[in-house]
Structure 1
Amino acid sequence: MDADNNDGKDRIGPMFRGRHVFITGGTGFMGKALIEKLLRCTEVAKIYLLVRPKKGKFPKQRLEEMFANPIFGKVKELRGLDTLIDQCVVIGGDVMELGLGIQEQERQQIIDNVSIIFHCAATIRFDEALKKAVILNTRGTKLMIELAKQCKKLDMFGYVSTSYCHLNEKLLLEKPYPPAADPHKVIKAIEWLEDNVVEGMTRKILGECPNTYAYTKGLAEGLVVESMADIPAVIFRPSIVVPTWREPLSGWTDNINGPVGMLIGAGKGVIRSMYCNSDGYGDYLPVDFGVSAILVSTWNYIGQKDYKRNIYNLVSSAEMKVSWEGVIDLGKSITANKVPLNGVFWYPGGTMKKYRWQHNLSALLFHWIPAVLIDCLLYVLGYKPVLCRVHRRIAKGFEVFEYYANNQWDFDNANINYLRTQINEEEKVKFKIDAGGVIIEEYFENCIWGARRFILNETDDTLPAARRHMKVMWYVDKFCKAIIVGAFFYYVGLWMFKKVF
């Protein structure tokens, strides 16, 4: 196939012309980026969004709130907010409910009009209760497949899975893998059993699987593979989805999952120790690369009728390999010297520990004891204690992180590599699916800028004060270290003096 046909013009955006797309999980991190990309770079006719009421807000209110997110700034400037809202149809519902909680009239609207489905909705909490994880991640996928089978114009059902759902495979290929159990039987059992019974059986049900997220996403994949005999289905397996590289703005994120949380923790001086294989690495996927890969894969499947490629590992470790230690070192260096955060508790420092006992000792000395002392001081001064609560959350996060940080997986992405040969130069710019031009240090600096602006809500005008505070913390850190070293040598010297005299 000639990659430069159509006179080198974009073929991916026009492929969506006149099409109606249905998206679940649109208010999530990857969902927002996917919607923005569709609205800005394709000719999609309508986007149907399954949105549930939340915290007393109706689905349409949540849509308006979503468009207030900074990621939609560029497309709002280009096309206007009213145009975007008119192009998006809010479908009230909930993936956790039977029938997806969709009213019959709206369900019929989907059945009659939708030709592409992107099922992104999932709980991404690794410590989610098993019953909720099965209902949302596995049964929700089953219900979506049932809806897809009714769609009269369906050209593709795209399921957003994860590259970390077959953890027994140290090299994940772009092929189906058998689920850990029969997903239909698991769903029936979970529906029938009481919550406390499921909770008590969770560890036995999971077996060697470390968490409910990987287990239930693996089951859901099994359902999608099974459905391929009946509907045109594609599986997308993104790895650890991280902030944007450049599109539509650098460093955008809306959560602290993955390395962003590590960067913030290290930058605030809160994380001083981690039990981790420092030479190991995670696989990071900038979210703009991920949604571009989904759209290019959709074009290849529908537009090019390449039905044999229906599983894609959306990964980057072959091109953007950064060790866990490298992430922490970059975070410490950038926050100490270039982009300091506000309210730093301590000068960025600490190390990764090879052995658990080393980490436990360091955590006691540099996490818990300082946290107790500072919280006591805050209480005396009339403020609400916060640091012990922060460290409890960090410790709980470490329980999940340690499994991934001390194991290693690699991924084959031959299908994405193939797509890179099939798109022309204009498409390569508009839908970037390779890491060419990515400078790791610059990227992580943008991630910290993004965390500062979009997560911590720290405005740029606070940067000079943050730099002054960081300088003070540097002197405090040196002073405290000098006292500790001095005390050590004093007591060692005193002990030796007593031994000799």
Structure 2
Amino acid sequence: MSDTMNDPKSKVRKAIWRPQEPLPVAAEEDVSKLPNRVDDMFTGRAILITGGTGFLGKVLLEKILRTCSSVDTIYLLIRNKKGKEPRQRVEEVLASPLFGKLKAQMDGATLSRKVVGIPGDVTMLDLGLSASNRQLLTDRVSIVFHAAATIRFDEPLKRAVLINTRGTRLMLELAQDMKKLEAFLHVSTSYCHLKERVLYEKLYPPPADPHKIIKCVEWLEDDVVNAMTKKILGEIPNTYAYTKALSESLVAEQMDKLPVIILRPSIVIPIWKEPLPGWTDNINGPMGLLIGAGKGVIRTMYCNQQGYADYLPVDIAVNGVLLAAWNFISNKDHERRVCHLTSSSELKITWEEIIERGRHAIKAEVPFNGVVWYPGGSMKKSRLVHNICVILFHYLPAYLIDALIFLSGNKPILLRVQRRISKGFEMFEYYANNQWDFKNDHVVEIRKLINSKEKKIFKIDGEGLDIDRYIVDCIYAARLYILNETPDTLPAAKRHMTVMYWVDVITKLMFCGLLLWTFASWSENLLDGIHGMLNLVHYIVSSGGSQKTQPYK
């Protein structure tokens, strides 16, 4: 990657959406008169969402309320957190800017009536439900979206099993008692069967017996489980992938008994289209890299720059979740029990393209506040070279800047940031240097079944995607909603970026000048040394002869 890249399109290929099959041509009918059959499916129903306070869960909640307003009640299983009860946490979720568009079309009273927080915790036996709330859910709920999970790659194995695996088993046990259940949609991940390089929409064998693993972590102390983790995981790189694979096998066990579906979204990234382009509530995945690179604190990455990962904007993923539920319930498509919500079979974007386009957008349009250095750096194919660059361009500057911060009477922070980045890179490198492809035949078939109105409301393709515009939206939203950098700070941020550009240029020129001076001094001393050695050799050789000779000149 170049430090002074002006046009990312000149160095990286243009990502183009390539649908596997031609999309059906919209008929010339009045789209407004067409039915919204997904809304019809939800009419009068009560549904349950776990993980409703998470990234995907929030977008799913908003989408159902805004486009399927005929739904009767949405129950959110929410645990008490930091002294806040479920009702308070629901209010916090609904206060997010994500719900601004919804609130313009639905009054507060209706919203409060439709969204009900249920005290519960997937880590607790019986899900922490009271007898009355358990009865309420089993009597009323007909659709379950189980999205509760810890997505931390470095989560201790015991906690990851209790949340991701045992939590899924407890939810399935609850579903067995639901009198009206028509669909249980388990949100897994496409990155949980990593031994396979091409993944199909089918079941894969689990890495271990999930029931034995659950029993093991229930009985053993945390430190014992931690000591055994590496051996238990084997070749699987983290506890997230391991426990998600175990969870899928629990769902698979119930396929003959319950109306269950496994959904495998890939790397879920910020909103593409609506309701709020670019919105996210976290810095996981590519956004964390763009923020780190944009702030100037990430200068090197150990990564195959021509490799690619599978990304899916969260609004497209949520649309896929809802259409999978509709197809299962309304179309009685019970043959397809595994659905990939992925993009790599139709759109491939390299790591180089993401970083270059993102860095160009940050430099030219939406720079961050408080940039510590002009965005630059490169991807390294050699781990050794990368590690050397980490010391030179991450840790040494962090020590120097933190020393200046300390001397100014403030608390040093940059070294702590770099340590967190290094820890994140340990998890990231496995995925950045390997790649997988995912077949998404289920979604391709669903596209053929929906009408023009539903295609617009529940978009599940990448037609019309402008990569550059999307990245700008993501960075702008990250400034505003993650970093709290308001739009009025943009002019100052652009001026600061210009200053940092010249600081970067001058520093590089000074460094090059120092290298040339050092080389010149070293060369002069080397020549003097060589000349002296030749004189000495000539003297020794000459002194052994019968005739005296002049010193070597």
Q: TM-score range by the shorter chain?
A: over 0.9
Aligned to 1:21: 47
Amino acid at match of 2:374: Y
Kindly indicate whether the alpha-carbon contact (under 8 Å) linking 2:186 and 2:261 is maintained by their aligned counterparts in 1: yes
Aligned to 1:198: 225
Match of 1:256 among 261, 283, 286: 283
Aligned to 1:34: 60
d(CA) in 2 for partners of 1:499, 1:51: 73
d(CA) in 1 for partners of 2:330, 2:520: 78
d(CA) in 2 for partners of 1:431, 1:13: 11
Aligned to 1:417: 444
Kindly indicate whether the alpha-carbon contact (under 8 Å) linking 2:327 and 2:333 is maintained by their aligned counterparts in 1: yes
> Can you list the C-alpha shifts for 1:254-294, whole angstroms capped at 9, x where unaligned?
00000000110111011000000111111111000000000
Amino acid at match of 2:54: G
> Can you list the C-alpha shifts for 1:214-253, whole angstroms capped at 9, x where unaligned?
0000000000011111100001100000000011010000
d(CA) in 1 for partners of 2:46, 2:228: 42
> Can you list the C-alpha shifts for 1:46-89, whole angstroms capped at 9, x where unaligned?
00000101111111110101111111010011102221111011
- Residue pairs, 1:456-471, within 5 angstroms: 456-471=483-498
d(CA) in 2 for partners of 1:349, 1:56: 43
> Can you list the C-alpha shifts for 1:363-383, whole angstroms capped at 9, x where unaligned?
111100000000000000011
Aligned residue for 2:105, secondary structure, equals helix
Aligned to 2:352: 325
d(CA) in 1 for partners of 2:226, 2:486: 43
Match of 1:9 among 17, 30, 35: 35
Match of 2:331 among 282, 297, 304: 304
Aligned residue for 1:153, secondary structure, equals coil
- Residue pairs, 1:225-244, within 5 angstroms: 225-244=252-271
Higher-Rg structure is 2
Aligned to 2:372: 345
Kindly indicate whether the alpha-carbon contact (under 8 Å) linking 1:133 and 1:213 is maintained by their aligned counterparts in 2: yes
Amino acid at match of 2:488: D
Gaps of 5+ in 2: 1-23, 529-553
d(CA) in 1 for partners of 2:192, 2:467: 27
Aligned residue for 2:193, secondary structure, equals coil
Amino acid at match of 2:371: V
Q: TM-score by structure 1 length?
A: 0.98
- Residue pairs, 1:274-293, within 5 angstroms: 274-293=301-320
Amino acid at match of 1:401: F
Amino acid at match of 2:281: D
Is 1:149 the counterpart of 2:182? The answer is: no
Is 1:473 the counterpart of 2:500? The answer is: yes
d(CA) in 1 for partners of 2:130, 2:163: 19
d(CA) in 1 for partners of 2:264, 2:516: 54
Q: TM-score by structure 2 length?
A: 0.89
Aligned residue for 2:301, secondary structure, equals strand
- Residue pairs, 1:33-112, within 5 angstroms: 33-42=59-68, 43-112=70-139
Aligned to 1:161: 188
d(CA) in 1 for partners of 2:427, 2:523: 45
Kindly indicate whether the alpha-carbon contact (under 8 Å) linking 1:284 and 1:320 is maintained by their aligned counterparts in 2: no
> Can you list the C-alpha shifts for 1:137-182, whole angstroms capped at 9, x where unaligned?
0000000000001000000000000000000010110000111001
Match of 1:405 among 408, 432, 451: 432
Aligned to 1:451: 478
Amino acid at match of 2:37: R
Aligned residue for 1:157, secondary structure, equals strand
Aligned to 2:203: 176
d(CA) in 1 for partners of 2:256, 2:419: 47
Amino acid at match of 1:100: L
Shift of 1:390: 0.3
d(CA) in 2 for partners of 1:197, 1:498: 61
- Residue pairs, 1:206-221, within 5 angstroms: 206-221=233-248
Gaps of 5+ in 1: none
Shift of 1:11: 1.2
Amino acid at match of 1:360: N
Shift of 1:320: 3.3
Aligned residue for 1:79, secondary structure, equals coil
Aligned to 2:419: 392
Amino acid at match of 1:301: F
Aligned residue for 2:224, secondary structure, equals helix
- Percent identity between the aligned chains? 57
Aligned residue for 1:343, secondary structure, equals coil
Amino acid at match of 1:118: F
d(CA) in 2 for partners of 1:380, 1:481: 26
Shift of 1:325: 1.4
d(CA) in 2 for partners of 1:26, 1:440: 29
Kindly indicate whether the alpha-carbon contact (under 8 Å) linking 1:20 and 1:45 is maintained by their aligned counterparts in 2: yes
Shift of 1:319: 3.3
d(CA) in 2 for partners of 1:319, 1:259: 19
Aligned residue for 2:349, secondary structure, equals coil
Shift of 1:492: 1.2
Amino acid at match of 1:55: K
Kindly indicate whether the alpha-carbon contact (under 8 Å) linking 1:320 and 1:440 is maintained by their aligned counterparts in 2: no
